[in-house]
Chains A and B, each alone.
Chain A
């Protein structure tokens, strides 16, 4: 098992190199057909030609493409000549940093990896910093949705399959179809409209300053007052911030979770129905086993396995869904950053985030395979 994980992880490396290279090729096409970030200043009369050239040089856009790609790769794994904005010195990709051991006051020097992904043209900051700033929001937004859909989908799928063709099953199937058919962004529009419009639950948060009413949890992920309060991670929050988080979370869960939820319910129902129709379930029933045991020990146990293998795919849907949801609900996630960087031709940001998404998907697939191996004793890896 351990050998398998190591092999798979090593195997990911060439795939990721290929992914980043394909992304880079796309960027070159993008430059070729729509111009670079610097090109927008070229026809601007208030910007002199020298400035444009200086900008081009400082951003490294005048280098040949292979050198740009090579430097980008080098910056991630080996070294870079960029300046660290925090320390003001050269960016150290590898450095020895004192790391405190947990539960002790001991500090030992450990090599710390701080990859340099290039600089964002638009924000004039390193991509690493930007990612570090936006990533927590993605995690705060995605993980609860992920948990929610899996915790809710499996019981509903089981209910739907065991009560096939009942009124409840029909209703759930219909809702499932509807959930699959509503585009994420349209659902987001409806949620915003219905809750903040006719129902008039409150104000649209980020739109107005504190007006004395408790505002509706649509838009953003924190109320203004809480954004700077405490840290970004839940264990650094106070009670008020946590409640505020929940209040902003539920529209996200509603919008982002619906389509994935509907898909998962349908798959779970189908799997369980397949298994309920198989011979060994009939045998189990013929033996006189209690229906509870037949379903939970014989059927569900086997229907879960294919669900785990689609775990990786559901990450894929979550990323795509989160992209739209974050834009409509204005949540500062990595997906929103990606969208903005596409509009701003912020090349290293695009390159890094696309590669980052690929890492997430590949790791998700790996985790799914490992889980499957743990759950299903029939699977062997050699």
Chain B
């Protein structure tokens, strides 16, 4: 604290001192024309005063878990963006012969010799007693895993048509040499690819609906807090009614309204709108309180005296003052939305086939029999947990960073 205060004092004094011939010194470099600090006896350093954003960033960087969370979030977004490239198969590629195949082990040593990454062929047999399908390995032939192999075609980032995948065996779908990192589902679709692709919707819905919630929430909260009186009364009653509903049942009811024959894109948009349309209430309530306080502050009065319109005052003068709160609460709202989306899709009322998300993938595991026999169907759930944890860490770090009372 003291150190920061001293920097500020020096910075304030140095504003008067720079001359034309003296280059603006960077942080930490000794600058000659300045007086000596009587306490320390060293030369005072000229420091560029840090902007609010820089201060926040500096505090944020010190939060180790927060940085880890941010890294994981970025990594997950990258995985989702390049899902078709990283996944060895197309998202809808069906392997008829490998329904519910377990994860393929990746091996390196064949008959005592190191031969690099490869897989053995998958052989499908039936248990003579229970008639259960069993997959075993054919240890005679190896299928090496190649990199940048050609396979199902897709559009990279929705732009370039290509068929190069990061890795794979390059075998046709009927061949026993397949690499299913997370196993397959009932249609023999590769769960690894589908998990990566499902991440797109799971990761999109959180931020997108938070954005909608922010828009509605700041608009309603702003109007309610700025105008007060009967507008406020009315909007508060609306809020109260909306908040009297428990969230998940309301989400279920609203997503049940979406027609079953809705085109894919519209279903996603509809779900985003529903999430955003419900999530704004808490935000609006807090914003209203802040606006009620802010509208009595001098600069608002000044703006009003200058003849600024209410909307201009709300969006230009008041909203920027609540920005840090908005950003933090938006970040902290994302994990809840990811969970909500997963829950909804798991119950079969959110994302549906042919679209996929982590929750939708988990809905295959809803059946007890499937769960006990094919436990790898639960793998997408790990992604949900990791993503939610990462967003939580990130939001926590952000909250600490924008708090002006915290040390940094």
Contact = CB atoms under 8 A, between A and B. Distances in A.
Contacts of A177: 389, 392-393
A180 B256 CA distance: 26
Nearest to B373: A197
B293 interface: no
Chain B binding surface SS class: helix
Interface in A159-211: 177-178, 180-186, 189-190, 192-193, 196-197, 204, 207
A358 B244 contact: yes
A178 B393 CA distance: 11
Contacts of A33: 257-259
A145 interface: no
A30 B257 contact: yes
- The 5 tightest CB contacts between A and B, nearest first, are A320-B248, A181-B388, A319-B246, A186-B381, A358-B244
Interface residues of A, number: 48
Contacts of A181: 335, 385, 388-389, 392
B249 A34 contact: no
A189 B378 contact: yes
Given A18-B237, A22-B241, A354 B250 contact: yes
Given A18-B241, A193-B372, A338-B252, 5 more contacts: A33-B257, A180-B392, A182-B385, A183-B359, A342-B253
A361 B259 contact: no
A306 to B, nearest CB: 15
Given A19-B241, A26-B257, A207-B368, A320 B347 contact: no
A263 B372 CA distance: 30
Contact of B249 (A15, A207, A338): A338
Contacts, number: 130
A342 B245 contact: no
Contacts of A350: 253
A69 interface: no
11 contacts: A15-B241, A16-B244, A19-B245, A30-B253, A34-B260, A190-B378, A316-B247, A323-B248, A342-B252, A358-B246, A361-B245
Interface in B108-150: none
A358 B245 contact: yes
A198 to B, nearest CB: 9
B347 A339 contact: yes
B343 A183 contact: yes
A16 B244 CA distance: 8
Which of A16, A335, A357 has the most chain B CB atoms inside 10 A of its CB? A357
Nearest to B259: A33
Interface in A204-227: 204, 207, 219
A103 to B, nearest CB: 39
Chain A binding surface SS class: helix
A15 to B, nearest CB: 6
Nearest to B388: A181
A327 interface: yes
B371 interface: yes
A1 interface: no
Interface string A334-346: 0100110011000
B241 A178 contact: no
A340 to B, nearest CB: 11
B351 interface: no
B245 A186 contact: no
Interface of A: 15-16, 18-19, 22-23, 26, 29-30, 33-34, 177-178, 180-186, 189-190, 192-193, 196-197, 204, 207, 219, 316, 319-320, 323-324, 327-328, 335, 338-339, 342-343, 350, 353-354, 357-358, 361-362
Nearest to B391: A181
Interface in B195-245: 237, 240-242, 244-245
User: In which size bucket is the chain B interface?
Assistant: 35 or more
Nearest to B262: A33
Nearest to A219: B368
A320 B246 contact: yes
A219 B372 CA distance: 14
A33 B262 CA distance: 10
A189 B362 contact: yes
Given A34-B256, A342-B349, A186 B362 contact: yes
B283 interface: no
A19 B347 contact: no
Contacts of B240: 15
A23 B244 CA distance: 11
Interface in B130-186: none
A339 B252 CA distance: 8
B381 A26 contact: no
B365 interface: yes
Contacts of A354: 245, 249-250, 253
A178 B248 CA distance: 21
B407 to A, nearest CB: 13
Nearest to A16: B244
B339 interface: yes
B242 to A, nearest CB: 8
